[in-house]
Amino acid sequence: MISKPISIAIKQLLFIGVLLPTLALGVSSFMKKGKELKIGKKVPAMDVKMMATDGEAYDLQDFQKENGTIIVFSCNTCPFVVGNDGFEGWEKDYNDLYQKASDAKIGFVLVNSNAAKHDGDDSMEKMKERAEKQGYKMSYLMDENSVVADAFGAKTTPHVFVVDANGKLVMRGSIDNSWDSKRTELETYALDAIDFLANGTKLSNNTPVPRGCSIKRK
């Protein structure tokens, strides 16, 4: 017969044996998915080098201009990016946003973090084809293993993050609300953010809910 103190000790060891792996799994999951960055916080992973469709390696700091940077997590296939019968997609707006950002001394860059599809539809070769076909004016980077997406807490394609001149987050979320067929007016979140960085105008919504396909992490 096992004495009471030994029995308690065994139970404690069993509890720890169950608890620690569970905690480890939880931490791993948390670190993988990441938390969305908070407005006003310094943006991480700006120095992570990524290959672009032009064959060069860049980090996000390379695109930082006098008034800030706009980072858009994108891909080659999501209907919210490329469009379908029910929605035109936001890809058609990329070049216009890039130009308006450039005119306002703000950088603009696309990042493909669909690591689970980097050997398929979101491979570098397919990214090059997409960039050429659509006439992208901006750089298009591959985020290996979704490292940058995890640091940002990026969820969807597209998912927009707007960074000010000091490297702090001022807006994250959707480009606009054109996806919503029931909208009463068009709300231009990304354009408003450009105006905010360039001219200090009021930013009415700095966390519009991102709409799109989930980022395909490994």
pLDDT tens digits, one per residue of 139-180: 999 999 999 999 999 999 999 999 999 999 999 999 999 999
Q: Which amino acid is at 106?
A: I
HSE value, Cβ hemisphere, 13 Å, CA-based, for 5: 0
pLDDT surpasses 90 at 197: yes
In which band, very low, low, confident or very high, does the pLDDT at 134 lie, cut at 50, 70 and 90?
A: very high
Instruction: Give the mean model confidence (pLDDT) for residues 45-70.
Output: 98
In this prediction, residue 151 carries a pLDDT of: 97
Percent of the chain at pLDDT exceeding 90: 82
In this prediction, residue 36 carries a pLDDT of: 81
In this prediction, residue 60 carries a pLDDT of: 98
Q: What does pLDDT average to over the chain?
A: 88
Q: Three-state SS string across 94-146, please?
A: HHHHHHHHHHCCCEEEEEECCHHHCCCCCCHHHHHHHHHHHCCCCEEEECHHH
In this prediction, residue 35 carries a pLDDT of: 80
- Is the bond leading into 158 cis (omega within 30 degrees of zero)? yes
In which band, very low, low, confident or very high, does the pLDDT at 19 lie, cut at 50, 70 and 90?
A: very low
Q: CB atoms < 10 A from the CB of 198, how many? A: 17
Cα 172 from Cα 99, distance rounded (Å) = 20
In this prediction, residue 27 carries a pLDDT of: 30
Cα 173 from Cα 96, distance rounded (Å) = 18
Q: In the chain, how many H helices and how many E strands?
A: 6, 9
pTM: 0.84
Residue bearing tokens 């067929």: 181
Q: How far apart, in Å, are the Cα atoms of 124 and each of 106, 111, 118?
A: 26, 12, 7
DSSP assignment letter at 184: S
Instruction: Give the mean model confidence (pLDDT) for residues 176-187.
Output: 94
pLDDT surpasses 50 at 32: no
Cα 120 from Cα 107, distance rounded (Å) = 29
Kindly report, residue by residue over 114-130, the tens digit of the pLDDT.
999 999 999 999 999 99
